[in-house]
């Protein structure tokens, strides 16, 4: 039987008592069964660190000025080849990705 409950981050208990008195235990494997990004999925087009389409040339010029090789889509989104490339590009632009790469 599957019971789906939602809790705030860090507040999910390891087990809950159901109305019928039975105890349901947390299934960590089910919680973390989502697909992870693998090396085979690079390159990525990053919308979050992109600019408006009409500023795409400015972003290309910025990368060129700083001798950083990075493609930019016509929509203004940088295209990162791998995790290290992404990390260097974000640092160059002064961005901080709190989930992954800090400056």
**What is the domain partition of the chain in residue ranges?**
39-92
Instruction: Tell me the per-residue pLDDT of 56-68, one tens digit each, with 9 for 90 and over.
Output: 999 999 999 999 9
CA proximity to 80, closest of 27, 43, 30, 32? 43
Looking at per-residue pLDDT, the higher value among 10 and 62 belongs to 62
Q: What is the pLDDT of residues 93-103, one digit of tens each?
A: 999 877 665 44
For 72-88, the pLDDT digits (tens) are 999 999 999 998 899 99
Distance in angstroms between the alpha carbons of the first and the last residue of the chain? 45
Residues 21-50 have pLDDT tens digits of: 888 888 877 777 665 555 558 899 999 999
**How far apart (Å, rounded) are the C-alpha atoms in residues 1 and 20?**
13
Distances in whole angstroms, Cα of residue 52 to Cα of each of 11, 23, 34, 82: 39, 52, 31, 23
What gap in Å lies between CA 85 and CA 69, rounded to an integer?
9
Q: Nearest-CA neighbor of 100 among 30, 49, 64, 50?
A: 49
- Give the SS3 label for residue 42: coil
């Amino acid at each position: 039987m599957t019971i789906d409950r939602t809790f705030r981050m860090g507040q999910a208990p390891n087990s809950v008592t159901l109305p019928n008195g039975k105890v349901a235990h947390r299934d960590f494997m089910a919680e973390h069964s989502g697909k992870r990004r693998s090396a085979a999925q690079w390159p990525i087009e990053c919308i979050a660190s992109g600019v408006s389409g009409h500023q795409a040339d400015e972003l290309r010029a910025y990368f060129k000025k700083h001798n950083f090789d990075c493609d930019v889509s016509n929509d203004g989104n940088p295209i990162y080849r791998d995790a290290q490339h992404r990390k260097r590009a974000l640092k160059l632009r002064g961005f901080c990705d709190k989930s992954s790469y800090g400056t």
